[in-house]
Amino acid sequence: MHIAALSQAHACGALAPRADDPVVMNSETAILSLTDGQERIDLRLDIGAINMDTGLIVPTPAPASVTSGNPVDFTALDAEMAPTYINKDLWWSWPPSPQDTADGADDTGSGTATVLGQVQLGPIEATALAADDTAGLTAWLEANGYGLPTAVTDLLGHYVERGWSFVALRLTGAEPLNGALSPIRLEFASDKLVYPMLLSQAATTPQSVTMYVLADHRQDVIFVNGDPVAQNVTWAREVQDDTLKQRGSYLTAVTMKFQEPGTSITDDLALIRAATDEEAGTVTVIEHHMTFLGTPIGWLLVFFTALIGAAVFLLMLIPKQRSS
């Protein structure tokens, strides 16, 4: 997603580059887990930024500790989600056509933002913040180089009113960045798995989210306010990898797309136990269309069999000539 405005929301937070600095969020992967009242979100971002002073604002229900994530978790995730491949010959169906395969009010209070902690993680400066009103939070962000449009500021007020905290992530350095960053780990107290999403309501382009959830059972995604979420479960199965099992015995991978963020994103995301632990995505069927000159061979066999049968029938109706 190409961003040239002051800021655009993206997935779990809002990008906050300096004015007129283009930023590309190439991809974002998040691993979620909840253990003993402590939620962990591991983020791996792939960002292209011309200016290194680019930030990302992430709300959290409670003050978060920010540390470096472990790349091994993502490597294990890739290996865990390797499906079983099955080849299937299609004798009767026609191959798909090319068309089928193309692809609120401002807070004017006088409070301040409180810095709870700050740490440097490679090219990322991470700051944990608390705020008692939106004006104080916005003032701190603007003073520290985070660009925020009014739409995002209004949504930040929603979190301030609920007593949430914030993590401000900023790229720092002299060289432009283009590529994947090392994983970042956010940990905070929570009684349920949540994923901050409301800031993406300010986005002007379609938003997509992919979450990998480690829990005791298969998970479904809903909005915190109870609204349903259109989702696609791409993987669901008991965890095989010992490293991942430490965070949960069942892995659910969910993708969501919001074509109209302003209307389709109504709150943050919450994870709830699914009705069953039915597996999904563990088998990939590779279909081979068995055709000759674009026609399914099954139908060709039927045609030629019928043709031969008709010829034999006609031959049987022709009277045999008497031998002279």
Looking at the predicted structure, is the pLDDT value of residue 19 above 60?
A: no
Single pTM value for the model: 0.76
Nearest to 58 by CA among 23, 107, 16: 16
* Lowest-confidence pick of 70-84, 281-295, 298-312: 281-295
Who wins on pLDDT, 163 or 148? 163
Nearest CA among 66, 30, 67 for reference residue 45? 30
pLDDT band at residue 177 using 50, 70 and 90 as cut-offs: low
Distance between CA atoms of 237 and 72, rounded to whole angstroms?
A: 20
SS3 per residue for the chain:
CEECCCCEEECCEEEEECCCCCEEEEEEEEEEEEECCEEEEEEEEEEEECCCCEEEEEEECCCCEEEECCHHHHHHHHHHCCCEEEEEEECCCCCCCHHHHCCCCCCCCCCCEEEEEEEEECCEEEEEEEECCHHHHHHHHHHCCCCCCHHHHHHHHHHHHCCCEEEEEEECCCCCEEEECCCEEEEEECCCCEECCHHHHHCCCCEEEEEEEEECCCEEEEECCCCECCCEEEEEEECCCHHHHCCCCEEEEEEEEECCHHHHCCCCEEEEECCCCCCECCEEEEEEECEECCEEHHHHHHHHHHHHHHHHHHHHHCCCCCCC
Q: Which amino acid is at 75?
A: T
Q: What is the Cα 287 distance to its own chain's centre?
A: 27
pLDDT in tens, 182-216: 789 999 999 999 999 999 888 888 888 889 999 99
- Residue 150: which residues within 8 A CB-CB, separation 6 or more? 106
Mean pLDDT (the chain) is 80
> For the chain, what percent of residues have pLDDT higher than 90?
42
Instruction: For residues 182 and 27, give the distance between their C-alpha atoms in angstroms, rounded to a whole number.
Output: 13
Contacts of 269 (CB under 8 A, 6+ apart): 194, 195, 196, 197, 209, 211, 221, 222, 223, 224, 229, 256
Cα(52)–Cα(45) distance, integer angstroms: 14
Task: Name the residue with higher pLDDT: 93 or 249.
Answer: 249
pLDDT band at 53 (very low <50, low <70, confident <90, very high): low
- Asked if pLDDT for residue 5 goes beyond 70, the answer is no
Of 126, 122, 112, 6, nearest to 57 by C-alpha is 126
Answer yes or no: is pLDDT of 3 > 50.
no
pLDDT at 82: 84
Q: What is the pLDDT of residue 191?
A: 94
Residues forming beta bridges with residue 108, ordered by sequence position: none
Residue 215 in contact with residue 248, Cβ under 8 Å? yes
